[in-house]
Structure 1
Amino acid sequence: MPSIITNSLKESFLAISKNKKIFLLIFILQILFFFLILIVSSFYVSKILESTVEIMQYMDALNLDVEKAKFDVLQQKNPLGENPLLISRNYEAMKKNLLFLLFYIFIIFTIINGLIWYFASNILEKNKKLFSLKNILSYLPRFFIVSLILSLSLFIFAYNFLNISFSGFLSTQPANFIPLLIVAIIAIYFIYIVIPLLNKFKIEEFKTLVKKTFRIGTRNFISIIVSYLIIIILIILSLVLISYLVEINLFLLFIGLILMLLIFAWSKIYFVIVVKKLSSL
């Protein structure tokens, strides 16, 4: 296991040094990905926060008390005040905006991140026409299917998390939070093993791809987890650095952001190499 990790680390940097133009393209696409995510998120998150603030302000104004609530019930009054529909109305608005947010993130993820993974997965492939429109259009539908599976599991998790957050005020019956969290983690674990293998399998070979992914994920659990941890730790360190530099110097902050984006771009190449090594064992 240590040899696979260390060799993959060396090979990832070697691949970048030999394919600087492709890595630069991956880096630019990574910038574009986060830029678009930032624009979409800032728009819809602000709308979600507006609805949340309205609900919280309304609830604070009620000054709810157990005895008062019991008295209101006896008087056939709604304990949630004169405008209880404000809560459900804003809750529905939050769900709608969350749905739009997830939809646009999914589109951006499928197209931009799909291109990033396409170039990262093929950076070591010799005699392959990387910029062939046919090859790109052949890869993206496969990435779309995988992204859809991942997004559905995350959407169900996010939707039920929202239901749980407001279950005290609404007549909703959310699913248990813990099982959904476990399903989401398992989905992420296997999906990111599938992605580096997509360029080797066609859509009609999906069953074979699933079997191979399951075999890699179960037999090489430690290697995969260590690889995930390396990437996650580097990303966390870059975020800590950015949070430190934000109060010091704008230029250094810019350097920190570039470093974080380079880590994201490099991590895909590194993980592709790890998975391909494990798939050949």
Structure 2
Amino acid sequence: MKYALFSGCRTGFDIPQHPKSAKAVLSRLNVQTQELDFGCCGYPAKEKNLDAFLLLAIRNLAMAQAHNLPVLTLCKCCFGSLKQAEYYFKNDPDKQVRINSILQKEGLYYDGGVKIHHMLTLLDREIDQDLLRQCITHPLDGIKVAPSYGCHALRPSTITGFDDRPNAPTIFERIIALTGAEPVNWSRRLECCGNPLLEKNSSLAQTFILEKYKTAEQEGADIICMACNYCHMQFEHGRDLILKSGSTPPIPAMLITQLLGRAMGLEKDRTGAETAA
């Protein structure tokens, strides 16, 4: 199995542990990855210029198509953007012509059909579950984990196809359970982390993330787990706010790839994970 790994723009400086831990976990599962010269998924441009959003996103899919590879995203914003761009492109012949005429300048062309996976959908649907269980050599027995779903993979469900129950998803809990940990039925698991609001209404964005930390701990979680670059940055921001306030340090928040790495017995320097509860 081989995938074009779409790490996302922010990983290089902000979250290098995300692709690092993903590669370490995937290697254990005999999954090969190739990093192409991908650009932005288009997410920041989506609300300002639909054509620019589509061009940015479809260029990435055209590159994957040229290498005959499906795409594997680590970030739910990137996943949602690529899935929506594929949908809009497929259903608008005029935009197909316009975008391909621009892509031609780079020797690229896209006619649709590249498969787009998020790390969770890959683990849940493409990886042999017996193999995944065999790789769990250090099960996280007795640890309670609260999944933070993130917004952009779930909706619109008819386009993303992330979970067949978008209002009551279980895909994240299934992966957590494979590590031996106990998924927490967290009341705020589907709520926004607040990152999209950070530059527009920082006070509201901070309220969102602080409430997520607070309720996860109140509802018995030992760890909060996310599978999105932007969610991870927001949880780091929330942790800094809590520490600066002089309050007790919050429970750890980590990426699903780091949680899996811990359950697989991978060294911390391969996952970038701090010691958790």
TM-score (norm 1): 0.26
Give the helix-richer structure, 1 or 2: 1
Structure with a larger share of its residues in strand: 2
| Greater Rg by CA | 1
Question: Taking CA–CA contacts closer than 8 Å with sequence separation of 6 or more, which of the two structures ends up with the larger relative contact order?
Answer: 1
- For normalisation by structure 2, the TM-score amounts to 0.26
